[in-house]
């Protein structure tokens, strides 16, 4: 940070502390050349993200609105709608994009719900993807089942690591009876 007196490009931080609500940091600095002390404030730079809706209408991304839409899909389900909305907001902020379609946001929601809770996923998808007929709805559920079957198969394979042959016969009392002969 440039010194306001001698324009030295360097400065030494003497003290850093959060301001009131913690949304910014106040730093007390000292110029190593002329000794001038000055204060700077550091704030998070958030870029407003424009959402382009199906209708073509533009509006700013609103996390609370997203949370509301999500909470209806997650009603009485073990899903934290607020946490999902938070993670989507974070991803959008990190991507540094300035606009996104509502369709893409919907897909981001579905990606998360698919992993967390099938019921919420189906509820959200049925509203969001506007299933036109029962066939497309059934197709979606089939795709889901396939994905979860694949996931279970992979898990089963991992659990079936080459077992210790000495232990494989244990836990079956009275199964063989080969000691009787």
Specify the DSSP class assigned to residue 115: H
Smallest distance, Zn ion to C-beta of residue 27, A: 16
Beta strands 24-30 and 37-43 are: antiparallel
Q: Which CB atom, from 3 or from 125, has the smaller least distance to Zn ion?
A: 3
Whole-angstrom Cα distance, residue 120 to residue 69?
A: 11
Kindly give, in sequence order, each residue whose CB lies less than 8 Å from that of residue 21, ignoring residues fewer than 6 positions away: none
Report residue 7 as tokens.
Answer: 């324009």
d(CA 83, CA 89): 10
Which residue blocks in 97-133 are alpha helix, DSSP H? 102-116, 118-128
Question: Least distance in Å: CB of 24 to Zn ion?
Answer: 24
What are the helix and strand counts (H, E) for the chain? Answer: 5, 6
Closer residue to Zn ion (CB): 31 or 92: 31
Minimum separation from the CB atom of position 9 to Zn ion (A): 10
Of 5 and 47, which has the nearer Cβ to Zn ion? 5
- Residue (30 or 86) nearer to Zn ion, CB: 30
67 Rama class: left (phi>0) / alpha (psi -120 to 50) / beta: alpha
Nearer to Zn ion, 1 or 75 (CB): 1
CB of 37 to Zn ion, least distance (A): 10
DSSP assigned state of 16:
E
Task: Give the binding site for Zn ion (CB under 5 A).
Answer: 3, 5-6, 8, 31, 33-34, 36
> Smallest gap, in angstroms, from Cβ of residue 10 to Zn ion?
9
């Amino acid at each position: 940070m440039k010194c306001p007196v001698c324009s030295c490009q360097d400065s030494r931080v003497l003290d850093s502390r959060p301001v009131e609500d913690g949304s910014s940091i106040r730093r007390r600095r000292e110029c190593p050349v002329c000794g001038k002390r000055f204060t700077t404030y550091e704030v998070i730079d958030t870029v407003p993200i424009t959402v382009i809706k199906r209708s073509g209408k533009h509006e700013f991304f609103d996390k609370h609105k997203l949370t509301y839409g999500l909470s209806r899909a997650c009603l009485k389900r073990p899903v934290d709608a607020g946490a999902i909305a938070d993670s989507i907001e974070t991803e959008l902020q990190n991507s540094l994009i300035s606009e996104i379609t509502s369709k893409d946001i919907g897909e981001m929601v579905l990606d998360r719900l698919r992993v967390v809770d099938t019921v919420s996923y189906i509820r959200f998808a049925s509203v969001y993807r506007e299933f036109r007929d029962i066939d497309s709805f059934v197709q979606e559920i089939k795709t889901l089942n396939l994905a979860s079957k694949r996931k279970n198969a992979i898990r089963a394979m991992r659990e079936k690591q080459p077992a210790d042959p000495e232990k494989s016969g244990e836990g079956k009392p009275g199964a063989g009876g080969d000691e009787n002969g």
